[in-house]
Amino acid sequence: MEIREVCRDKDICGGCVYQGVPYEEQLSNKFGEVKGLLDKKDIRYGELLPIEGAPSRYGYRNKMEYTFGDMEKNGPMTLGMHKKKHFMSIVTVDQCQLVHEDFNVILRGVLEFASSHGYTHYHKKAHKGLMRHLIVRRGIRTGELLVNVVTSSEDGFDENAFVEMIRALPLENQVVGILRTINDRLADAVYCDELRVLWGRDYYNEEILGLKFKVSAFSFFQTNVDAVERLYSYAVSLIDDFENKEVFDLYCGTGTITQVLARKAKEVIGIELVEEAVEAAKANAALNGLDNCRFLAGDVFEVLDSLPDKPEVIVVDPPRVGISSNALEKIIGYGVKQIVYISCNPKSLADNLYYMQYYGYEIKSVKPFDNFPGTKHTECVAVLEKVKK
């Protein structure tokens, strides 16, 4: 794998905890954390398989959300990430190694543009100022870029000049959309009160496992495309036989794995809380010509409780908090032979496996995946089978 110098901002940026740590040591630490959490919960797994390293340690992130601010009170404007342990300070991260170099070029261009025009950054306490966030998204397979600047509704932002500046940047990838999001909410988070398409379109295209996806400005999408292809391929390979069977994909997001399953299953029902993600999933399924997957919006437990359908296989991919106790009870109550659990948080995975183990499921295997090198995050795939009475 490519080895780079330690990042300039490793001591102040809160993004990477493993800067300067040899990759094999990173993998060993992450594997050890997963094992420790499982053993602490007395999870009786058949196999704890070796951790799968990422295809690339660098340039793998397809989305970044930067914040405008300053490093010191009333200092020059900065644009980047929160400083470690200092919520009010923002570090300009224009040499980040986790993104394609185009992201760094765009960040520098936008910061220079805002500074040269005399724009003010949004002050979290005073709730005044123009510049709030910058979101850059990239299609890894297509080389398409989406640039979205988030401002308050204060007057003075020159939209035409901003478009000209972005389009003139020396980029390797192609900008397909330049957007402006208006956000006047008090919280220090990105909300969309109004979305303006300044140039181009409000989505980019991506491909995963032979499927096509239109990813809109605020749609959730997998952050590391190359790594998630490996993880999903492995997860699907664990299912003994789902051809012509009814499959539930719970916490399905924009329906990536739902559509992978739909290529063999009789029908796949995807359930997701976020309505925008469900609408995106429906559109993408139509784009791929798949008519045997349904997507339902709502809380997983509530949707399952209202469904007359009975699954033969269940795949779950919950958020970091894991599966709620009532949803877990409902899932176990189906008594399906096989459940594949995709986890983005080993701690909540261990908590859920403990419960599932107690109520009649055997954990056949757990395999960790390092989809986010340099950071503390670890993904896992576990396969469970119903114990015969």
Q: How far is CA 158 from the centre of its chain?
A: 32
* H or E, element range at 247: strand 246-250
DSSP 8-state symbol, 122: P
* Helices vs. strands in the chain: H and E counts, helices first: 9, 17
Identify the band that residue 389 occupies on the pLDDT scale cut at 50, 70 and 90: low
Contacts of 40 by beta carbon, 8 Å cutoff, 6+ apart? 350
Amino acid at 271: I
Distance, in Å, from the CA atom of 170 to the CA atom of 123, rounded to the nearest integer, reads 31
Quick one: average pLDDT of 143-160? 97
Is 174 annotated in a binding site? The answer is: no
Contacts by residues 25-28 (CB-CB < 8 Å, ≥ 24 positions apart): 26/370, 26/373, 26/374, 27/51, 27/53, 27/370
Q: In this predicted model, what pLDDT tens digit does every residue of 250-289 receive, in sequence order?
A: 999 999 999 999 999 999 999 999 898 899 999 999 999 9
Q: How far apart are CA 235 and CA 140, in angstroms?
A: 22
- Burial bucket for residue 215 (CB in 10 Å: 0-12, 13-18, 19+): buried
Is the pLDDT at 1 greater than 50? The verdict is: no
Active site residues: 344
As a whole number, the mean pLDDT across the chain is 94
Q: Per-residue confidence at 6, pLDDT binned at 50, 70, 90?
A: confident
Asked if residue 246 belongs to a known ligand binding site, the reply is no
Domains of the chain by start residue, with CATH = 23-56+219-386 (3.40.50.150), 63-208 (2.40.50.1070)
For residues 142-160, average pLDDT:
97
Is position 24 annotated in a ligand binding site? Answer: no
* Dist. CA 169–CA 171, nearest whole Å: 6
Kindly report the pTM of this predicted structure: 0.92
* Residue 295 near residue 319 (C-beta atoms within 8 A): no
pLDDT in tens, 290-341: 999 999 999 999 999 999 989 999 999 999 999 999 999 999 999 999 999 9
Q: Is residue 66 marked as binding?
A: no
| Dihedral sign of CA atoms 212, 218, 224, 230 in order | negative
